[in-house]
Structure 1
Amino acid sequence: MAGTRTRTGTAKRRRWPRRVLLTVLVVLVLLVGYGTGLYFWADSRLRTTDAFTDFDGRPTAGKGTDWLLVGSDSRADLTPEQRKELHVGNDQGLNTDTIMILHYGGSGPYLISIPRDSYVPIPGHGTNKINAAYALGGAKLLTRTVEQATGLRLDHYAEINFLGLVDVVDSLGGVTLCVPDGGLHDEKSGADFDAGCQHMGGVQALQYARARYSDPKGDLGRVERQQQLVNAIADKALSPAVLVPPWKLIPFLSASLDALTVDPGTGIGALATMGRKVSGLSGHSGTTTVPVASEPYVSGAGDVVEWNRSEAEELFAALRADTAIPTFDTN
C-alpha cells in the first residue's frame, strides 16, 4: 500500500508541470485571440475620408512620418441641448479649431501647432485664414494648403469633432489638466477654472481647450491648452489602467473609433504608433507652435496671424530632414 501511494504521488508530481504548461498555453492562446479579435474589430470600424490629392508641385516625401491632426468645430450632429451644454453656439460654418502636425522618426516626436488664424495662400481661393480651407474644400483642400505652406508631404490624416472629443475624455474617466496662475474664466467657452491641477470630464476639457477670449494670448494661448489636452489624453489612454482591463480598453476604443475620421491609408497599427508617440511628449517637451511675426487686422479676413517666415522655414526644414527642431524666443 505504501508503495502504491508513493507511485501515485510521483505521478501527480510529474503531471503538475504539464498542467501548468497547458494552463499557460491556454492563457496565451486566449490573450492572442483577444488581441487579434480586438485588432480586426477596431480596424473594421475605422471611418475614412479621402484626405490627400496629388497636385503639381506637391512636396516630395521627407524623412520620418508626418500626421495632420485636426479638430473640427462642426455642430451639424449636435442637438440644441448639446450645443448649449458644450457652449459652442449655433454657427453653421465648418472650420477647424485645431490644426497640428505630429512628426516622428529618427528625431522627435514633435507636436507642432498651426494657429487656426494663420494667414496663408489657399489654392484657388486667394489668401485667408488657414482654417477656412476646410470650410472651402474639406480635408483635401486643408491638407493641400498645409503641404504648400509648410513644404511637408503629409503621410496621415486624423480628424475629431466636438462631441467626439468629449466622449473620448469621458471614456477615460476624465483627465487631469493643470490650470496656470490666474485661472481661466471664459464666458463664451464656459470655462470657469481656478489655478491648479484638477480633474476634468469631457465637457470641462472641451471648455478648457476652446477658451480664448479671456486669454491675453488669444488663439496662441488656446493652442497651448490644446497641446496640453492632447498630451493628457495620450498619457492616460496608454496607461496600464486603461490598456490592461478589457472593461476600460474597449469603451475607450469604441469612443475613439466613433470620434475619429482618418485617411484610407491609415489603419489601427498606424494609429497605435501615433498614440505612443504623442504619449512620449512628456509635459510640454517636444511641443511648439509655428513662429509668429505679427497679428494684424486684414479687411475681409479679420484678425489674422502672420508667420515669421524665416523661423518657420527653419522649423519646417528640420522636420523635412528629420533633425532636431530649433528653439525660438516666443516672448
Structure 2
Amino acid sequence: MGKRLYGLSLASVIGMGLVLLMGALVTKTGSGEGCGTDWPLCNGKFVPAYTIESMIEYSHRFVSGIVGLLVLGAAIATYMKLRHSGEAMLFAFGALFFTILQAILGALAVIYPQSEAVMALHFGFSLLAFSTSLLLTVGIRTGAYVPAGSKAHRSARLLAMDDRTANIVPGMRKWIWGATIYSYVVVYVGAFVRHTESSGGCLGWPLCNGEVVPALHGATGIAFAHRIAAVLLLVIVAIIAYRSSRTPGSPDLLRAAARWALLLTVLQVFSGASVVWTLSSDWYLLTALMHVVLVSGLFGVLCYMSVLAWRSARISADPNRPAS
C-alpha cells in the first residue's frame, strides 16, 4: 500500500480527532459566538481580534479547513489506488461527506442560531467523519485492501484476514451492530447535555442530587437520561466482551476489539463521573475534553467491530469461499 495514501489517511484521522476536541472546547468555553454571525470571516475580519473567544472559535474554523483538505486528498488518493474496493471507497468518501456536512452545519450555526438539538448533531457528524477516516486508515494499515493493479484482488494476506473474521456468528453480529447504533444515540444525548448546559442537572455521582431517581424535569431529566443510557451501554458492551471470549472459535480480532471496547466504556463512565465531580473546579475543562477523547475512541472501536461483523457476513454468504 502506498505510503502517501496511508500518510494522508492517518493525518486525516489525527486532524478529525483534533477537530472533535476543538469543537468541544468551543462549546465548553462558550466561544461559539466569538466571531459574531460572520462566516468564514470573524467579526468581518480575516484576522480576528485577540480575544479568547474569537481566537478559540477562529482556530477551530482554521483547523477544520485544513483537515477538510486532508480528507479530500485522502479520498482522491483512495479513488486513484483503491477504486475497485467498495469498502475503501465507502470509508474515504463517507469521511469526506460527513466532513463537509459538519462544516456546513457549523457555518449555519454561526450565521443562523440553531436549536440545541440541531447543534448536538454537529458533534455527531464530526464523530462519523472521524470514525470513517479511522476505518479507512486501519484497513490500509492491516492490509485489508489490495492496491490497484494487483492481479489477484484476494491476496493470501486478505484471505488470512478473512479466516480471522469469518467465524463471527450471526447473533454476535446483531449485538455488535446494535451496540454501535445505540452508542451513537448515547453520544448524541451527551452532546445534547453539553449544548443545553445540563451537566449541573445531576450533582453528585453515582446518585443524582442525592437520589437514586431524581425528579425528571429540565436539566436534571436530560443529565439523568444520559447517565442511564451510558450505564446500559456498559452492560451491552460487557455482554459482547463476555460472549466473544466464551464463544468457541471466536476470532482473535473480535476478542481484542471487544476487550478494548469494554475498557473504554468503563473509562468513559468514570470520566463522565469526573466531569460531575469537577464542575466547579479548574479541572472541569480537562475532564470534559478527556471524556470526549474516550467516547470518540469507544465509538471508533465499535465501528471497527461492526466492520469485522460486516466482513464476516459477506464471507459467510460467499458461495465461492474455499472450504476451511
Q: Name the TM-score class by shorter chain.
A: under 0.3
Q: How does the TM-score come out when normalised to structure 2?
A: 0.27
Q: How does the TM-score come out when normalised to structure 1?
A: 0.27
Q: Computing the radius of gyration over CA atoms, which structure comes out larger, 1 or 2?
A: 1
Higher share in strand: 1
